[in-house]
Amino acid sequence: MTSERRFALALVAPALAAILLVAVFPLGWTVWESLHRHDLRMPWLGRPFVGLGNYAEILRDGRFRGAMAHTATFTAVTVALELLLGLFLALAMNRAFRGRALVRAAVLVPWAIPTVVAALLWRFLFDSQAGVVNAALTGLGATAEAPVWFVDGTLAWVPLVLADVWKTTPFVALLLLAGLQNIPGELYEAAAVDGAGRWGRLRHVTLPLLRPAILVALVFRTMDAFRVFDLVYVLTGGGPGTATETIALYTFNTLFQNLRFGYGSALSVTVFAVTFALAMIYVRALGTGPAGEGR
């Protein structure tokens, strides 16, 4: 083994050890559970091994399909919005202007508020009687009658998406800002000399060099959006009906309300598989996985 390899492995070992310590048992346990029929409420049924039986049930489960559809839509919309807004904010914060520090801090505040509190805040804001949103809408004459947001299957998504975008755009913005910092100024000047306008610089200099940062932002935001729980639980509880039920909420119900640990574990493994597939797609599409080379 070359000295480089030894050095590398020594550097990687602690992180790997820490991860393995915390991760191997829970992940293995979940996968193992998913292969059994295990209902805590009825211990007399035992814990029989059913192989892929739970997964077959998932395929037949209409509520699962609904939850997946909701989650996928939520993920797509919020990640797209957060990326766009985050990019805009990052570009704006990259400039030198007075009060920049304060703007940065102000922009980061939403993310610093505990999720449960943020959800409560937004529920308040969209309350049909006491909420500011409806007061503004009726005050400005935009609608005659104040809508009851959480009672309509489509409208209920608005506060959800807004709350999530509000809360996590700062994360994306900060990520992209740090990425922007790494782009040498000379490249912009060279592009300007070549006659590129603002859009041209954005397209040909900024975005390509931001690709690694965008990739990380995409991967992590997608994973988080896919697993969103606290926000939905507090804001809508999955309602009206199951219109806003996400897959994490459904899994939580299955595990801790219905105590069906086998089936709930199978749901978790399915979420994992989907998220993993998405991550792989991102890495392929954006080309520059951190382990690979080539820009």
Residue type, 238: G
Q: How far is the CB of 128 from other proteins (least distance, A)?
A: 5
For other proteins, the binding residue among 84, 151, 190, 207 (CB under 8 A) is 151
CA distance 31 to 36: 9
Segment 237 to 256, residues that bind other proteins, using CB under 8 A: 237-242, 247-248, 251-253, 255-256
How many residues bind other proteins, per CB under 8 A? Answer: 132
Task: Output the six-digit token pair for 213.
Answer: 């940062």
Q: Shortest gap between Cβ of 263 and other proteins (angstroms)?
A: 11
* 238, 244 contact by CB (below 8 A): yes
Segment 64 to 83, residues that bind other proteins, using CB under 8 A? none
- Contacts with other proteins in 104-143 (CB under 8 A)? 104-118, 120-122, 124-125, 128-130, 132, 135
Please state the length of the chain. 295
Q: Considering only residues 202-231, where is the footprint of other proteins by CB under 8 A?
A: 202, 206, 212-213, 215-216, 219-220, 223, 227, 229-230
- Note the Cα 187 to chain centre separation in Å: 32
Q: What is the DSSP letter of 258?
A: S
Residue 140: alpha-carbon gap to chain centroid: 34
Minimum distance from residue 1 beta carbon to other proteins (Å): 9
Q: Quickly tell me which residue has 């998932």 as its tokens.
A: 58
What CA–CA distance (Å, rounded) separates 170 from 168? 5
**Helices 3-34 and 261-286, packing angle to 10 deg:** 140
Smallest gap from residue 191 Cβ to other proteins (A): 10
- Tell whether residue 281 is a contact of other proteins (CB under 8 A): no
CA-CA-CA-CA torsion sign (37, 42, 43, 46):
negative
Nearest partner of 217 among 175, 274, 164, judged by Cα? 175
Residue ranges in 166-195 that form contacts with other proteins under rule CB under 8 A: 166, 169-171, 174-175, 177-179, 181-182, 184-185, 188
Q: Which stretch binds other proteins (CB under 8 A): 46-54, 73-81, 285-293?
A: 285-293
According to DSSP, the residues that pair with 260 across neighbouring strands are 39
Least distance in angstroms from the C-beta of 196 to other proteins: 11
Site for other proteins in 11-40 (CB under 8 A): 11-16, 18-19, 21-23, 25-27, 29-30, 39-40
Binding of residue 53 to other proteins (CB under 8 A): no
Give the nearer residue to other proteins in terms of CB position, either 158 or 258.
258
Provide the minimum distance between the beta carbon of 95 and other proteins in the complex, in angstroms, as a whole number.
Answer: 6
The residue from 60, 98, 198, 284 that contacts other proteins (CB under 8 A) is 198
Per-residue burial over 109-141, b if 16 or more Cβ lie within 10 Å, else e, is: ebbeeebeebbebbbebbbeeebebbeebeeee
